[in-house]
Chain A
Amino acid sequence: MGDDREQVRSVVEAYVAALERDDGAGACAQLTPAAREELESSSGMQCREVVTRLDQQPGAIAAIDIAAVNAQVDLAGGDTAFLARESEGWRIAAAGCRPEQGKPADRPYACEVQA
């Protein structure tokens, strides 16, 4: 569990840092293959070209919760990221997520990047 927490933290921090320096390839490397594919098919562009242009407000990590092979990370800028544990390690399955109409537990967040 401690290892998982550290991995989740480093993946999200790497993603946020890549966005801040406008490094699309670096940000895409933290996404799951399914999230990258969805982003590319919905935008018609390469992941590295579109990911830094999305409406994302990340910021520092405010909270991490890990549940089995999934995780939720809340960021200080208001965004939430959802991660999945892949064979090569934790990766971001959805990013730039914000709750719709408050914070109900039974409605999905609206996400800029989503598998």
Chain B
Amino acid sequence: MPFGYHGSYLRIDVAGGGVEHVALPEAVLRQFIGGSGLGVRLLLDEGAVHAEPLAPEAPLVLAFSPLVGSPLTTSAKFAVVSKSPLTERINDSLVSSGFAIAGKGCGCDAIVLVGRAAELSVLIIDEVDVDAGGKRTKVRLESAAKYRGATCRETEAGLKADLGAGYRVASIGPAGENSVRYATISHDGRHAGRGGSGAVLGAKNIKAIALRGTQRTAWAHPSELTALSRSLSKRSFGPATAKYRELGTATNLLTFNRFGALPTRNFQSGRFEEAANISPEQLNATRSKTRKSCMACTIGCEHIYGNGKTGVRVEYESLFALGSLCGVGDSEAVLRASERCDELGLDTISTGGTIAFAMECVERGWLDEPWLRFGSGDALMRAIDLIGSREGLGNLLAEGSRRAAHKIGNNSIAIAPQVKGLEIPGYEPRALQTMALGFAVGARGADHNRSGAYEVDFSDKVDRRHVTLDAVRHAIDTEDRAALMDSLIICKFLRGVFTDFYCETAEMLRNVTGWDVNAEELRETAKRIVSAKRQFNLLAGWTPAEDTLPERILSTPLPNDSEATLSRERLDGLVAEYHRQRGW
């Protein structure tokens, strides 16, 4: 077995069907590395493509990586991989911090959960000492009855108090318990956010996973790895990460608004007249702020703004989705809404996207909920609470905008802001057309984490509002790099510090594993992982018609920017060229 791995995954049937360590061949590890890549491979091996995502037999994978536990900055991350209950396609979400280190410390490279517990439970994974100084993994279920309905934060704090501070906890909120199709899994205030992995865990009757492990894997070249880690950490303090450190992702808001790329009122506009009110620049001027880092991270991108007695972590995607997309320009309301989503365990992008869609349906007379109006912070909060509990209108909106549109009718699917069922993040596709391609072809749907094509739009490589087929290779390159980063795993906020991404990441992997891996091999590995996601989708029923954007985007120019038009013909051409270059 190479350095950096335990060489097996822990397969747990929470219905009481047993616990086993399943060997992972070295060839599989080298081909898929860890994180998202390994998770997709395990899902394929488990036959997850044919399972209904919320059925007991549907597997949920928590995948670690060879870099977890190393001194490489930002490497304390894990991937949550499953078939999405929102899209019925592949879903992989990344989340940071100590759970990754403790989970790998339980002596496994991944945890696969199947089955459904008899009652709402906490899954506790621990290690016990055995003879000759070894460790053995011990798994048990405890009733989570007292945590039913508890927020993510309450659950995590309660379990640490009950079990001991040494445990790391990943949990779902009420939304996950209630099978909201875009419920999250939360750990340490961060979320495996997109695609509904929280609903998958909830369908297994698992409120939380608490684990504690101390087993470490050795590194092949420790002194070289330490030197590389120091160099990377030093570079992570420089200009390439200044944006995240000094302002956080929220600073995108005014930039995107300036470029007419800030989705507003359910993608009816790319400019929000109240953007300045909810910008981090305004929040900085009026509120206290603290910064926080994930474990083993030197960047410190979390900017937490005071909001009454508590602090709210503010990210661009939450500000856009709960602010401009819903037409809400009251910063107090947006922060409260973001905090409430975190408590309930809701993906802020899908929450905001689905509510904004419903607001427009009300405006058009397709939905008889007159209280639900663009711009109303109170309506936004009410809708979020209804979604979390699946009460009233919330039961419809908990299904996401695509399913809701099919029930509402009136061809409202044309204005549902989604691709493959996943709500579109805060990048107006008509103004950022390389990103539009990335959204259309994304394996998990409209997604800014698996495609970084917006980088291309904000460069001199393309004309962002009139992209040509030349943009395709750039979009593919960002998708490949993202697949590799999500499998190694390292944070994407580091991407600007690399001068030669594939060479430097190959050096990391060589020093950890001892493999003679080089840049060319990692390029192929990245493509293999992207293709594996595609294979999953094909087996799950993907058709070419899914690689597209909502009708509105392809038929309506953006107001205030007549240049920002994206025809179906142009998008179809880009998608066809993407498939051709992928060899699909």
A complexed with B: no
Chain B residues engaging chain A, CB cutoff 8 angstroms: none
